[in-house]
Amino acid sequence: MSETPYLVAVVDDDPSFSEAIVWLLRANGYDARSYHDADSFIAQHDIRAIGCALIDLRLGEDCGIETFQRARTHGYDMPVIMISGHGDIPTAVKAVQQGAMGFIEKPIDNTKLLADVASACAYHQDFCARNGRAVDAIRVYDLLTLREREVFWLLVNGKATKELAADLGISLRTAEVHRARVFGKMRLNGLAELVGASRYLTRA
């Protein structure tokens, strides 16, 4: 485990369940926090912490998948493991298809939970080291003009400067200027970093 304990969010509207999971995680060296609804999780959880989130698919009036998606748009990049009841497996599979790292079925197998959390936290630490943080990528992407965003996504898709100039109907010199501004505003040092940043972004 890292020198600073991984932070694990437990997002579930059942207080007794949350308390039990938080106790288990803390007993195994994690910094665990419980949230009983989507709003408190998104408003209060440390967006820059390395760790993961456990989110119940049936979260009171909230939907676990919607909570997961909302967190992503706010810049949360930690892996999410969905907690599902017996009848929720098809929905849990849908969540994985939409980007969740996996799901754990209730009643919880503590050994599996700890193994999945360890894997998710290690993945998050490595992924952020290679690709930066989502909140930073979103912030600087918002600084791009509409044309610069077009250039950004063409570069992500492997277009050379000459090709993107042709696609956009602009001169090569203008394309080079836009390309330089994209890298400058987003503080990227190469195409690999640009592609890494794109993993946090949604093309409008």
More confident residue, 114 or 138: 114
Instruction: Give pLDDT, residue 167.
Output: 93
pLDDT at 48 over 50: yes
Enclosing H/E stretch for 51 = strand 51-56
In Å, how far are 23, 91, 97, 135 from 71, measured between CA atoms? 24, 18, 17, 11
Q: Count Cβ atoms below 10 Å from residue 199 Cβ, excluding itself.
A: 14
**Residues 6+ away with beta carbon under 8 Å from 91:** 57, 65, 84
**Whose CA is closest to 34, among 58, 48, 47, 17?**
17
Give the tens place of pLDDT for each residue, 132-167.
Answer: 889 988 889 999 999 999 999 999 999 999 999 999
pLDDT at 1 over 60: no
pLDDT at 2 over 70: no
Instruction: Give pLDDT, residue 58.
Output: 83
pLDDT at 8 over 90: yes
Q: Which residue has the tokens 């093309």?
A: 203
pLDDT at 204 over 70: no
pLDDT at 202 over 60: yes
- Residue 18 CA, chain-centre distance (Å), reads 22
Name all domains of the chain by residue range, CATH numbers in brackets.
Answer: 7-131 (3.40.50.2300), 136-198 (1.10.10.10)
